[in-house]
Amino acid sequence: MRQSLIMGNWKMNGTRESSQSLCAAIMAGLNENDKNIVICVPAVYLADLQTLTSNSPLALGAQNVANQEAGAYTGEVSATMLKEFNCQYALVGHSERRTYYGDTDESVAERFCQAQKQGVIPVLCIGETLAERENGETFNVVNTQLDAVIAKAGIGAFANAVIAYEPVWAIGTGRTATDEQAQEVHKAIRERVALQDPVIAENLQILYGGSMKADNAKGLLAMPDIDGGLIGGASLDAQSFLKIYHSI
Residues near ligand 13P, by CB under 6 A: 9, 94, 166, 171-172, 209-212, 230-234
- Please indicate whether residue 166 is annotated as part of the active site: yes
Given 94, 96, 132, 186, the catalytic residue: 94
Strands 228-231 and 58-62, sheet pairing: unpaired
Nearer to ligand 13P by C-beta: 19 or 211?
211
From the number of C-beta atoms within 10 Å of its C-beta (0-12, 13-18, 19+), residue 204 rates as buried
| 186 classed as catalytic | no
Rg (CA), the chain: 17
Of residues 119 and 172, the one with the C-beta less far from ligand 13P? 172
State the nearest-atom distance from the C-beta of 9 to ligand 13P, in Å: 4
When the beta carbons of 142 and 200 are compared against ligand 13P, the nearer one is 142
Which of 79, 23, 30 is CA-nearest to residue 48?
A: 23
Which CB atom, from 122 or from 209, has the smaller least distance to ligand 13P?
Answer: 209
CB neighbour list of residue 161: distance below 8 Å, 6 or more residues apart: 112, 116, 121, 122, 123, 124, 153, 204
Q: How far is the CB of 41 from ligand 13P (least distance, A)?
A: 12
To the nearest whole angstrom, how small is the minimum distance from the Cβ of residue 60 to ligand 13P?
Answer: 15
Q: Are 142 and 103 in contact (CB under 8 A)?
A: no
Work out how close the CB of 43 gets to ligand 13P at its nearest, in angstroms, rounded to a whole number. 16
Say how far apart CA 124 and CA 112 lie, in whole Å.
Answer: 7
Nearest alpha carbon to residue 193 among 225, 221, 219, 229: 225
d(CA 23, CA 39): 8
Rounded to 10°, the helix 238-246/16-28 angle is 30
Q: Which residue is nearest to ligand 13P (CB)?
A: 232
Instruction: Spot the catalytic one: 96, 166, 184, 191.
Output: 166
CB of 97 to ligand 13P, least distance (A): 10
Q: Which is nearer to ligand 13P, 85 or 208 (CB)?
A: 208
CA 156 distance to own-chain centroid:
19
CB 152 within 8 A of CB 191: no
Cite the active site residues. 94, 166
